[in-house]
Structure 1
Amino acid sequence: MKDRNILITGGLGFIGSHIANSLMDDNSITIIDNLTSGRLDYIDNPNHDNLTLIQNDLNGLDLTATLKDIDYVFHLAAMVSVPLSVENPIRCHEENVTATVNLLNACVKNDIEKIVFSSSSAVYGENTNMPLKESEIPMPSSPYAASKASCELYLKSFHESYGLNYTALRYFNVFGPKQDKNSPYAAVIPNFINAILENREPVIYGDGEQTRDFVYVGDVARANINAAESDYNGIVNVASGKRITINELYEIVKKTLNADVDVRYLPKRPGDIEHSHADISNMKRINLEIDTTDFEKQLVETINWFRQDLK
Structure 2
Amino acid sequence: MSKILITGAAGFIGSQLAYRLWKEGNELILIDNFSYGSKDNLIFLDHDFTNEVINMDIRDKEGMRKILSKESVEYIYHIAGIAPLPDCQTDPQEAIDVNVGGTVNILESARRFGAKKIIFASTNAIYENVKDFPTNENKFDLPTLIYPNTKYVAERFCESYCNTYGMNITCLRFANVYGPHIDCVRKQPPFIGYMIRELFYDRVPVFHSDGKQRRDYIYVEDLIDLALSVQKSDGFDCVNVSSNQNYSVNELYNIACKLMNKNIKAKYMTSGEYWRKYPELYEGAYPIKNEILEHEVNKYSLCDNSYAKEKYNWEPKVSIEEGLKNSIEYEIDLLLKLV
Q: Does 1:282 align with 2:304?
A: no
Partner of 1:147: 150
Partner of 1:298: 323
1:156-167 equivalences under 5 Å are 156-167=159-170
Tell me the SS of whatever aligns to 1:167: strand
Partner of 1:11: 9
Asked if 1 retains the 8 angstrom alpha-carbon contact of 2:8 and 2:14, the reply is yes
Partner of 2:280: none
1:186-205 equivalences under 5 Å are 187-205=190-208
TM superposition shift of 1:299:
1.1
Asked if 2 retains the 8 angstrom alpha-carbon contact of 1:212 and 1:244, the reply is yes
Distance across 1 between alignment mates of 2:218 and 2:251:
16
TM superposition shift of 1:137:
2.5
TM superposition shift of 1:243:
1.1
Indicate the structure (1 or 2) with the bigger Cα radius of gyration.
Answer: 2
Asked if 2 retains the 8 angstrom alpha-carbon contact of 1:126 and 1:273, the reply is no
Partner of 2:38: 39
- Once structures 1 and 2 are overlaid, which stretch shifts more, 99-108 or 282-291? 282-291
Partner of 1:74: 77
TM-score (norm 1): 0.93
Tell me the SS of whatever aligns to 1:73: strand
Distance change >3 Å, CA 61–CA 41, structure 1 → 2: farther
Task: Provide, for residues 140-188 of structure 1, a one-character-per-residue CA deviation record: whole Å limited to 9, x for no partner.
Answer: 1310000000011111111000011011000111111101114578711
TM-score (norm 2): 0.86
Asked if 2 retains the 8 angstrom alpha-carbon contact of 1:213 and 1:278, the reply is yes
Distance across 2 between alignment mates of 1:102 and 1:253:
41
Contiguous gaps of at least 5 residues in structure 2: 275-292
Distance change >3 Å, CA 32–CA 61, structure 1 → 2: farther
Identity %: 30
TM superposition shift of 1:83:
0.7
TM superposition shift of 1:196:
0.7
Distance across 2 between alignment mates of 1:108 and 1:185:
36
After superposing on structure 2, the runs of 4+ consecutive aligned residues of structure 1 that deviate more than 6 Å are none
Asked if 2 retains the 8 angstrom alpha-carbon contact of 1:14 and 1:38, the reply is yes
Tell me the SS of whatever aligns to 2:156: helix
> Which has a greater percent of helix?
2
Distance across 1 between alignment mates of 2:7 and 2:141:
25
1:255 counterpart (258, 262, 273): 258
1:129 counterpart (132, 137, 141): 132
- Once structures 1 and 2 are overlaid, which stretch shifts more, 33-42 or 8-17? 33-42
TM superposition shift of 1:230:
3.3
Distance change >3 Å, CA 232–CA 59, structure 1 → 2: closer
- Figure out how many residues of one structure are paired with residues of the other and give that number: 306
Asked if 1 retains the 8 angstrom alpha-carbon contact of 2:229 and 2:312, the reply is yes
Distance across 1 between alignment mates of 2:245 and 2:90:
32
Tell me the SS of whatever aligns to 2:59: helix
1:84-123 equivalences under 5 Å are 84-123=87-126
RMSD: 1.8
Asked if 2 retains the 8 angstrom alpha-carbon contact of 1:124 and 1:136, the reply is no
